[in-house]
């Protein structure tokens, strides 16, 4: 299946994701079936999905679940299925398709994908906790700058311990409001921790959970952010960056690592963060994380107009953690 997440030109392994992976099952029949390949699929609008094959096919049967009715099917090497009504933004859709080429080779594809979400909110990364002390866990806090729906939005977390790994969390559909906080907790160590994908914001317990914010928990107990060097960014379904943060506890050394330099260049190309003029090593203006603890977090200066510079970030005072509410203005 084609991967529609084009991150940057380095091979990376998705190490964790709390939402269902896109299920894919392909069965092929026919005398020349080896050259008939299913290459991928994606929702191109709220009411249209495309499926790409290695050559022209005719769809013999098609079903979309849960109980989504089909208005029309356009055959070809790219098959376009139009829905009778728009799917919920970012909702999980399962497609079961049987297609046939001109040589009577048939292919049966069973695949899951996310519906198109054209209502992703404007947002900013607002606070990051890089350290844990059981049961207190690391987290990333987002502040919504507009109303919208989180369905299909992806948070990408790239620490400094292994160049071959990054973490992608894909959000489920849920309506959010301007001014609302969403806290993505980066490990789950307490039974009381609950994902808040309903209208209620007080369902979750656990340390750092807030009754005023939407708490979401990544399953597992691995360390995903590191004060030494971490890159965090948020993508929509078309791989446009919605928000980003670069942090480091030193001025420059971590940019010498190729995987960080390429990721930072990827952000820069979309207008996020900055580079030193003439530098071959890439961006160096990272938010300084020196001094962070499990109660001293990295905070965005909420009076700053530009969150993409180091001067807009600071380490808060001890016990200044403020998950799910306005940032503590005291500085370490």
pLDDT at 17 over 50: no
Q: What is the pLDDT of residue 31?
A: 59
pLDDT value, residue 259: 64
| pLDDT tens digits for range 249-274 | 876 545 555 666 777 778 888 888 76
Query: Residue range 244-251: average pLDDT?
Result: 83
CB 237 within 8 A of CB 46: no
Pick left, alpha or beta for residue 135 (phi over 0 → left; psi -120 to 50 → alpha; otherwise beta): alpha
**pLDDT tens-digit map of 223-237:** 999 888 888 999 999
Whether the per-residue pLDDT at 89 is higher than 90: the answer is: yes
CATH class of 123-315: mainly beta
Alpha-carbon distance of 332 to 318, in angstroms, equals 7
Residue 279: per-residue pLDDT:
47
pLDDT of residue 270: 84
Mean pLDDT of 132-140: 92
Whether the CB-CB separation of 129 and 291 falls below 8 Å is answered with no
Q: Is the sign of the CA dihedral 72, 76, 80, 81 positive or negative?
A: positive
Q: Which helix (H) or strand (E) holds 260?
A: helix 258-269
Residue 76 vs residues 3, 45, 49, 54, 99: alpha-carbon distances, Å: 21, 19, 14, 10, 10
The string of DSSP letters for 200-255 reads -S----STT--TTSEEEE-SS------TTEEEEEEE-TT--EEEEEEEESSSSGGG
Section 310-315 average pLDDT: 92
pLDDT beyond 70 at 280 = no
Query: How much is the average pLDDT of 75-103?
Result: 95
Q: What per-residue confidence (pLDDT) applies to 207? A: 87
Can you tell me the mean pLDDT for 325-329? 96
Query: Which overall architecture, per CATH, does domain 21-114 show?
Result: Sandwich (2.60)
Strands 214-217 and 181-185 come out as parallel
Mean pLDDT, the chain, rounded, equals 85
Q: Which residue reads 């708490």 in tokens?
A: 215
pLDDT of residue 169: 96
Residue 206 is predicted with a pLDDT of: 86
Domain edges within the chain: 21-114, 123-315
pLDDT in tens, 192-228: 999 999 999 999 998 889 999 999 999 999 999 988 8
Of the two residues 6 and 151, the one the predictor is more confident about is: 151
181: part of which helix (H) or strand (E)? strand 181-185
Q: Please compute the mean of the pLDDT values over residues 128-153 and round it to a whole number.
A: 95
Categorize the per-residue pLDDT at 68 as very low, low, confident or very high, splitting at 50, 70 and 90. Answer: very high
Note the pTM of the prediction, 2 decimals.
Answer: 0.85
């Amino acid at each position: 299946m084609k991967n529609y997440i084009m991150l940057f030109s380095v091979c990376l392994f998705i190490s964790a994701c709390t939402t269902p992976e896109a299920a894919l099952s392909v069965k092929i029949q026919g005398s020349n079936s080896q050259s008939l390949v299913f290459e991928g699929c994606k929702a191109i609008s709220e009411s249209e999905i495309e499926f790409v094959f290695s050559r022209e096919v005719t769809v013999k049967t098609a079903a979309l679940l849960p109980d989504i009715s089909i208005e029309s099917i356009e055959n070809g090497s790219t098959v376009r299925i139009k829905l009778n009504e728009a799917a919920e933004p970012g909702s999980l859709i399962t497609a079961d398709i049987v297609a046939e080429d001109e040589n009577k080779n048939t292919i049966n594809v069973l695949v899951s994908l996310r519906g198109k979400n054209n209502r992703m909110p404007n947002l900013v990364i607002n606070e990051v906790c890089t350290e844990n002390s059981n049961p207190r866990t690391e987290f990333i806090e987002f502040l919504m700058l507009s109303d919208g729906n989180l369905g299909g939005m992806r948070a990408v977390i790239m620490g400094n311990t292994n160049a071959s790994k990054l973490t992608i969390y894909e959000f489920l559909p849920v309506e959010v409001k301007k001014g609302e906080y969403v806290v993505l907790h980066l490990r789950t160590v307490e039974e009381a921790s609950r994902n808040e994908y309903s209208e209620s914001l007080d369902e979750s317990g656990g340390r750092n959970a807030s009754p005023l914010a939407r708490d979401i928990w990544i399953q597992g107990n691995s360390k995903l952010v590191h004060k030494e060097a971490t890159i965090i960014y948020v993508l929509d379904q078309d791989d446009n960056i919605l928000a980003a943060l670069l942090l480091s506890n030193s001025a420059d050394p971590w940019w010498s690592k190729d995987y960080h330099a390429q990721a930072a260049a990827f952000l820069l190309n979309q207008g996020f963060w900055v580079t030193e003029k003439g530098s071959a090593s890439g961006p160096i203006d990272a938010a300084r994380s020196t001094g962070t603890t499990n109660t001293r977090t990295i905070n965005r200066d909420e009076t700053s107009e530009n969150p993409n510079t180091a001067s807009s970030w600071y380490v808060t005072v001890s016990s200044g953690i403020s998950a799910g509410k306005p940032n503590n203005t005291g500085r370490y």
